Chain A
Amino acid sequence: MPKKVSEIINGRRVIVKKPELLAPAGNLEKLKTAILYGADAVFIGGKEFSLRSSASNFSLEDIQEAVAFASEHGAHIHVTTNIVMHEENLEGLEDYLKALDALGVTAIICADPHVILTAKRLGLKMETHLSTQMSTTNEKAIAFWQRQGVDRVVLAREVSYAELKQIRVRTDLDLEYFIHGAMCINLSGRCMLSNYYSRRDANRGGCSQSCRWFYQLYDKEGQPVGQEPFTMSSRDLSLLREIPALIELGIDSFKIEGRMKSIHYIATVVSCYRKLIDAYCADPDGFVFDEFYEKEIAKAANRSLGKGFFYGVADKKGQLFNLRDEHPTQEFVMRVISYDPQNQIAKVEQRNHFRVGQQVEFFSPSHPNYVMTVEQLYNEAFEPIEVANHPMEILYLKVDRPLMPNDMARKVRT
């Protein structure tokens, strides 16, 4: 049976089985950001055997640095080995898995049964997690994979909360559930639209997102039907309000999608869910949902958000029918390097254009958001300037609230 979720301690119910917050990272900077902003674990892709072939994936040296950083902060690294392999991909698998294991990677995320069974045969320390690409939707399939030695199942996004409840009581295997990010419209691992339309293999990371194209429908006689273009585009998932229910169910890991997402997105989204999870776990019976979380997430969302399959079959509210419903996120402009409390001067790294007179909002894993107008801005030589327009340039500005290294700032939308 699954472990107990809550206990009464000193007369108050507290959550004792806190879920892992699992964040994505496409490079080392994003990985460090995810951990600093509160992720308990980060999933990354290696240079081989991983989907998202256009993400700047991690070399073994990068993974070594990632594991070291994660360990220092009490976090874990999961490496995706989740392509569906063709004959030409088989070579090098054993050596690669052994190398990951030797580096101290906590888990590999696998879509191909051969990867799982190879890892088990080699007797590696790493856990094997069954990827959502295998579209596991019920407890019997979980039982089958548990018998093969799988340590965790990443459930298909088609599993609703009601179905999840049934699964949870019928298995004691670790369960991982998506809480945020982009969604495939079709069953993961079973979509060949890209293969047929673009000759790009979706199951090896080459997906051309043909589901988001526009189509015309015809009847069997070849007559066009429908006044609007037909699309199969999904809204992104966001389960902020559903987090308490998922915690009470005892789900082991909450997954945020987005290895190709920006550092701003990762920091904002991870931080939001971290604060929400911590607030709920500390006092579940006294918890009141704060709209702050939704407002904060909206600053990083680049597509309209929805609930996916959480409440059952996804109706039209879970889809995008407009012409390209993508919103620019609130622009990320700087990252804090250090702060001099005596002079109230922050040393920052520029990430996007901003100027004196601009309103910016600092956000952080450790203190509330702070809005201010940039009044004094200096270049690296401490000469006053009006505009910060060189990427990654080092700047100084006056901030009358203390900041921490790796705090970030975004432009305030007016």
Chain B
Amino acid sequence: MKLMTNISHRELISEFRAMKVDAVVVGNEAVSSRFGVSFSLDEIRKLSESFHCYMLLNELYLPSELPLVQSWLNDLKTTNIQGILFQDFAIVEMTREMGWEIELMYAPDTLNTNSATLNDLAGLGISSAFLAREIDLETIERLSSRVKMPLCVQVHGVMYMAQSRRPLLTNYASETGMVLSDPSYLMQANGDERLAWIHEDRYGTHVQTQSELVGLDFLHRLSQAGIAWGYVDTQFMEPMYAIEIVNLYMDALKSIKEGTFNKDIHAYRLLLQGLGKGHVYDQGFFNDRTVYKIEDVRRMENAKKGE
């Protein structure tokens, strides 16, 4: 298993290069969402010379936005980028029309939840896939054994929750008279202690967890399951912390390769504990399942009332 991470501060570039991070994900505010730093085309070109570099074209584009996307695709084709993270099948269609055989990682932030669909997509020109976060580890293992394409699983960082094409903060400010002074805010549901990041960009409003997913304990199993990429999302991290976290996971992956992970994991946990002051950690859905059938929902709610 290799490590893929996004560059959320320019200071991270030289550190990631020194660490020999396996792949980086970059974006530009014109065509990407939830990317961290907006890199220019020239910067991306440069990065693609020294990194395995993936470009985020991870929006669902309206017709009026497609010419800009096409323009970016035309330019990106002249760089050395390794692949594109996408969720709009327009990207598959447009790269096909261009005759550009580039790695296309289907990354809709959810949706990738079963092996049959992923195998079908592999036959339609999709090269790899970013698994949904809301499936548990056992399911990931089962799924991975049946899928014929490289898979990416997020192993650390804030988690995607929702996106709206509406400027929800702007609308709220307009309605209530609140002055929007920060690029991002935290929101908390009444009666719930958890916080979530909420921010706006040209593509609307994005909601992500404040808590960071921590997949350290499951890294070995993910690697054994054949997961190709562990993704560390460095959004909302201070640069030094981001470096420490990425370094930690790089080391952990190395120890898996060398067969010493079971011995080293204790030290990694302690290190993470030390780094984690002021951070909220969460195991996401690795050991958890969602319900949807009415009888299961009622059972879960009754169990909660009994607690």
Contact = CB atoms under 8 A, between A and B. Distances in A.
A321 interface: yes
A191 B65 CA distance: 22
Given A159-B62, A199-B290, A193 B190 contact: no
A79 B41 CA distance: 46
Contact of A309 (B162, B165, B187): B165
Contacts of A190: 87, 108-111, 162-163
A244 B293 CA distance: 40
A373 interface: no
A196 B161 contact: yes
Interface residues of B, number: 75
A140 B66 CA distance: 9
Interface in A215-230: 215-220, 222, 225-230
B171 A230 contact: no
What's the dominant secondary structure at chain B's contact region?
A: mixed
Contacts of B124: 113, 148
A196 B196 CA distance: 10
A190 B285 CA distance: 17
Interface residues of A, number: 78
B171 A85 contact: no
A46 to B, nearest CB: 14
B178 A192 contact: no
Given A117-B120, A138-B90, A141-B88, A210 B111 contact: no
A112 interface: yes
A91 to B, nearest CB: 10
B190 A216 contact: yes
Interface string A47-58: 000000110000
A241 interface: no
Interface stretch (B13-21, B44-52, B134-142, B225-233): B134-142
Contacts of A319: 166, 168, 171, 175
Given A113-B121, A189-B111, A321-B175, A163 B164 contact: no
A144 B89 contact: yes
A304 to B, nearest CB: 13
Contacts of A193: 161-162, 207
B247 to A, nearest CB: 25
B174 interface: yes
Interface string B156-196: 00011111111110011011111001101111111010111
A120 to B, nearest CB: 10
Interface in B108-154: 108-111, 113-117, 120-121, 124, 133-135, 139, 142-143
Contacts of B195: 218
- 8 tightest Cβ-Cβ pairs between the two chains A and B: A206-B292, A140-B90, A204-B292, A201-B290, A166-B63, A114-B117, A316-B171, A144-B89
24 contacts: A85-B117, A112-B114, A113-B117, A137-B62, A158-B60, A158-B62, A187-B60, A189-B111, A190-B110, A193-B161, A196-B159, A196-B209, A200-B292, A201-B291, A206-B290, A213-B189, A218-B188, A226-B172, A228-B172, A314-B165, A315-B171, A315-B174, A319-B166, A321-B175
